[in-house]
Structure 1
Amino acid sequence: MGKIIAIANQKGGVGKTTTSVNLAACLGVLEKKVLLIDADPQANATSGLGIDVETVEIGTYQLLEHSSKAEEAIIKTESPNLDIIPAHIDLVAIEIELVDQEEREYMLKKAIEHLKDQYDYVLIDCAPSLGLLTLNALTAADSVIIPIQCEYFALEGLGKLLNTIKSVQKIHNKNLDIEGLLLTMYDSRLRLSNQVVEEVQKHFDEMVFKTIIQRNVRLSEAPSYGESIINYDAGSKGASNYLSLAHEIIKKNI
């Protein structure tokens, strides 16, 4: 039985998509069968794995509409053991279209629940907002990874996200767990980076992953080649950080 993990934070630019793509690829390299679902209208996870967004005919939008089955949307990627359900810019419209639907928060859950039998891990790359798309992802997920940037405004908005998670637990998905808080974009030379790490570890203790994702040029270059960091430069600091995170998650879920 697989596990569905949403990667969420309503703040943009904290490393959600970078984490989704590279964690998925690293879990695949470690011989886990992985499905990545792109639930962000910007479709960066889709293009980051080398898929031309313009050619996407069936993706997350059709899944949420229930006009296509999940199996029809799955695309094999170049990365070992990694499949993706892509996104397209048309996903922008889904929030408006779902507003009047009954059980609108459960659309994704209904569409992907059965996939847990086919994959070890299903990762959902969420949009940078707390709208209906993210709500669908949190309702469908078993747990959530929250990337936190090691910068000044890091903790701003975290309380809001944790409150959203609490209300999802109360109303839509009582089994939703926090898989962990992931510190990203860490630069050991900056005092501020170190202060954020200390602050987060002090407040959240056991909830924080031991792995910290460091700032790494190769990590920001990889998506422009449509590759995960492990395919682009397996010897880079970014690749070793995400492999370490993948190991940590596998160990946690044994």
Structure 2
Amino acid sequence: MSIVYIKNNKGGVGKSWLTFQLAHGLSLIEITEGRKAKVLIVTTDSQNNILDFALSKEIELGEGLESWVAKGNGDLIRLRDNLEYIPLNSSNFTASFKNKIKSTLYTLKEKYDYIFIDAVPVAGLDKEFEDIADIIIIPGFMDIVTLQGINKILETVNINKVKAIVPNRFNNSAYEKKLLNNFREVIDGTKILLTSPIPQTALITNLISKNKTVWETSNKRIEPIQEVLGEVLEVILNGE
């Protein structure tokens, strides 16, 4: 199906959190009669933050993405039904790793309906991931530095692959509202979905503390966030 690259050159904007929410959401969707989507997350973050979001107990890591690239096998951690994760042990990427990462992902694509790439800006693998990605999703804050970074991304990547921009940790200030309106004008005329902002809220903090996604609560107040992420999932499913 698709390889989805969650991209922003700025750290701390919620890439890992968003990756986990979207990947789990897709794994719950029945894509053919009686079969739900099989989803994989790979990371170039040796801190493996997604494990902190997903699991309540520590996992002893063995051979991660480096082994998959070198030998075609390694750790495969179950996060949820139909959702698996390949961790990373070290971010010291060799030339051989960079040369083989795309072919490794193409091979894995044969086994999964969707692969999510959660990449850190310092990995130095942007070009490889941009080339192999079918879909690029950009999370970001509504501050001037982040918006300048997103504008730069839009100038340098294949803009046809950018399917959605997700404002995150929104505090609904007058300044943020102004920047959001300005940004709407920037992407006006493109096919990029600019979602409603995901608010900065204790609801998400509480779910994170319980290692839960937004799909694992019956709290009605989380429904607007589910709707925002649902829009992004629809874009991914449609591939447009």
Distance 1:16 1:122 in 2: 15
Q: Does the CA contact (< 8 Å) of 1:27 and 1:34 recur in 2?
A: yes
Q: CA deviation at 1:223?
A: 3.3
Structure 1 residues 119 and 9: CA distance shift in structure 2, 3 A: same
Q: Does the CA contact (< 8 Å) of 1:9 and 1:146 recur in 2?
A: yes
Letter in 1 for 2:18: T
Distance 2:14 2:214 in 1: 13
Structure 1 residues 218 and 59: CA distance shift in structure 2, 3 A: farther
Q: CA deviation at 1:37?
A: 1.2
Distance 1:39 1:146 in 2: 17
The residue that corresponds to 2:44 in the other structure is 39
Match of 2:75 among 73, 76, 83: 73
Once the two structures are superposed, the pairs formed by residues 44-123 of structure 1 within 5 Å of their partners are: 44-50=49-55, 55-64=60-69, 66-69=70-73, 72-77=74-79, 79-87=80-88, 90-94=89-93, 97-98=94-95, 101=96, 105-123=98-116
Match of 1:177 among 161, 180, 187: 161
Aligned residue pairs, count: 230
Tell me if 1:230 matches 2:232: no
The residue that corresponds to 1:219 in the other structure is 204
Distance 1:44 1:128 in 2: 14
Match of 1:194 among 163, 177, 187: 177
Q: Does the CA contact (< 8 Å) of 2:46 and 2:90 recur in 1?
A: yes
Distance 2:90 2:218 in 1: 31
Letter in 2 for 1:220: T
Distance 1:127 1:52 in 2: 24
Q: Percent identity?
A: 21
The residue that corresponds to 1:173 in the other structure is none
Q: CA deviation at 1:29?
A: 1.8
Counterpart secondary structure, 2:215:
helix
- TM-score under structure 1 length normalisation: 0.78
Distance 2:55 2:105 in 1: 23
The residue that corresponds to 1:172 in the other structure is none
Counterpart secondary structure, 1:58:
coil
Letter in 2 for 1:83: E
The residue that corresponds to 1:23 in the other structure is 22
Q: Does the CA contact (< 8 Å) of 1:40 and 1:127 recur in 2?
A: yes
How big is each residue's C-alpha offset from its partner over 1:189-233, in whole Å with a ceiling of 9 and x where there is no partner?
Answer: x11221122112110123233343222222233334333232256
Q: CA deviation at 1:7?
A: 0.4
The residue that corresponds to 1:133 in the other structure is 125
- TM-score under structure 2 length normalisation: 0.82
The residue that corresponds to 1:209 in the other structure is 194
Structure 1 residues 204 and 232: CA distance shift in structure 2, 3 A: same
Distance 1:53 1:9 in 2: 27
The residue that corresponds to 2:239 in the other structure is 253
The residue that corresponds to 2:9 in the other structure is 10
Counterpart secondary structure, 1:14:
coil
Structure 1 stretches lacking a partner, 5+ long = 170-175
Structure 2 stretches lacking a partner, 5+ long = 31-36
Distance 2:214 2:108 in 1: 26
Point out the more displaced range, 14-23 or 177-186. Answer: 177-186
Distance 1:163 1:105 in 2: 24
